[in-house]
Amino acid sequence: MKLDSGMGRLGTADPAEARSLCERIAADGRLELAGLMTHFATADSPGDEHFGAQLERFTAFVDEIKDRHGGDLVVHAANSAGAFRDPAAHFDMVRCGIAVYGLDPFHEDPAERGLAPALSLESYVAAVKRFEPGASAGYGRTWCADEPTWVGALPIGYGDGWRRSLSNNARVLVRGRSHPLVGTVSMDNVTIDLGPETDVRVGDPAILIGEQGGERILCEEVASRLGTINYEVTCGLTQRVRRDYEAG
């Protein structure tokens, strides 16, 4: 039985209706009242009052139904954020989602909560070109070199889920150093500024999300640049991105 305690999606928001359904289930020999659940709308917003109100509403419902139908019902409510935020939301079990992937439900550094990201996004340097002042990279000439520099091209773009909104608004790790993404993100390519002197070579691995040489680019950083959440960044990676799996 799902009580809509304030999420506004599935389940009934009327405790009387939920109570009546529980009674009907318990009275039907073909059915078993196995458990109670709800879902939090603002668990990832520390300090808000809605989370506490939802928890209080659901707890009162749980106590009532357990008194009527026994205490062996399985009760759960907490998503990843709820599990970290308040032990009172744990009940019999928690439903961790984003935290299972090592991403932070509060959109900060996962390491602060003992989480290690399971995903990294890697490309490689496909070309290295010398740019003189005034030379531009990408559609629309949204970036031009203001001094002599080297530019690397990577075969990844919005066709892979690396959003166009990251044009001139991201960074990439090559040889353990951070390089700004410059120019417009294309369907299949991005360009990065390697600086006036570089030892980067064609074929060097390039990290868009992950760690290299002690430097990190968190999924949460990419999400912040896009004005979204880490979940959308990872879900947006398309099927043409090759998946390589390694045992932890």
Whether 138 and 228 share a structural domain:
yes
Per-residue pLDDT at 71: 79
Look up the CATH number of the domain holding residue 125.
Answer: 2.40.37.10
245, part of any domain: no
Which of 243, 223, 245, 139 lies closest to 188, judged by CA?
139
**Do 78 and 36 share a domain, yes or no?**
yes
Number of domains, the chain: 2
Q: Are residues 125 and 218 in the same domain?
A: yes
CATH number at residue 24: 3.20.20.10
Task: Look at residue 192 and tell me if it is in a domain.
Answer: yes
132 in the same domain as 44: no
Q: Are residues 175 and 227 in the same domain?
A: yes
- Determine, yes or no, domain membership for 243: no
Q: Identify whether residues 148 and 226 lie together within a single domain.
A: yes
Mean pLDDT of each 10-residue bin along the chain, 248 residues long: 96 96 95 96 95 98 93 95 97 97 96 96 98 98 98 98 98 98 98 98 98 97 98 97 89
Looking at residue 248, what is its pLDDT?
65
Among residues 50, 81, 96, the one where a domain terminates is 96
One domain, residues 157 and 212: yes
Domain residues for 217?
A: 121-235
